[in-house]
Amino acid sequence: MKIHVTQDVFKLAEVFTISRGSRTEAKVLTVHIEQNGLIGRGECVPYARYGETMASVTAQIEGYMANGDSAAMPAGAARNAVDCAVWDLEAKAAGKRVWDILNVPAPKPCITAFTLSLDTPENMRMAAAKHAHRPLLKIKLGTPDDMARLEAVRAGAPKSTIIVDANEGWTAEVYTDLAPHLLRLGVAMVEQPLPVGQDGMLAEIARPLPVCADESCHDRASLPDLQGKYDMVNIKLDKTGGLTEALALNDAARAAGYQVMVGCMVGSSLAMAPATIVAQGAAVVDLDGPLLLAEDRTEPLIFDQDGVHPPSRHLWG
């Protein structure tokens, strides 16, 4: 077995901004595992919020190269790329699709959110109007001026369902003040309103609309601490450490009574492909990474009026 990792950069179609900063490109790591003339691939997006860098994640992948034990890797980007590459290789070796190996139905297209990045209210209104044909819009918020932005987006896309991601940017007081207005404007869900470690107040204040754990939920070990605070969990393969744990977290979260959202970092179609399996039956799907890119992988995922389609065998799995 031969393993190597490459750094790949994909230009974004537009500047993408959240409360933590802006970016103009998606920097990803691609793991290639070769065996018996077949190559399995997996992609991850190192995320600074979780203390990851391109160098640190590459080092973790190189550690796997030395011992070949992905179970020894921590949940996170490195294990994600390795795990998904192993699944891709196994499917190619078996001449089957990954979902056939898992003995689950073939994935169907899923309506995905389209994310509007943080901007001035007027620019966000124009962006919302441009994408008003989309059934589900996700708004990046988390600043003191959020009400004006939210009002602007609703004006630009009066018929779209809206979900909001505060990226840990609010306090309990701010969220309590905003919640009635979120309901008034038809917001269907709010994602990670309070910072990790400061979200205990969610168990004490009213939650008039579903609250989703993102930064507070990584893998199954996260679930006990979410009880009473959250109604939904956001499953991202770069947090769980791959498809294997994502599927296990999906089952465990549902069994514990949580709704499930399946999300992504800003990456290419290769990163989204395994997540289309986890997304089946999810309450919210947010796999719009490729829609934010100016360039993508060969044989990219198909996005149309039915949503994001499962990958071709040439892309993954």
The residues annotated as belonging to the active site are: 140, 236
CA distances, 2 to each of 24, 231, 242 (Å): 33, 43, 20
> Any bridge partners for residue 261, and if so which?
234, 284
Tokens of 260: 């499930």
Tokens of 2: 């031969």
- How far apart are alpha carbons 308 and 276 in whole angstroms? 8
Spell 142-170 as b/e; 16+ CB within 10 A means b: beeebeebbbbbbebbeebbbbbbbbbbb
Tokens of 153: 């987006």
**Phi, psi angles (nearest 5°) of residue 61:** -65, -40
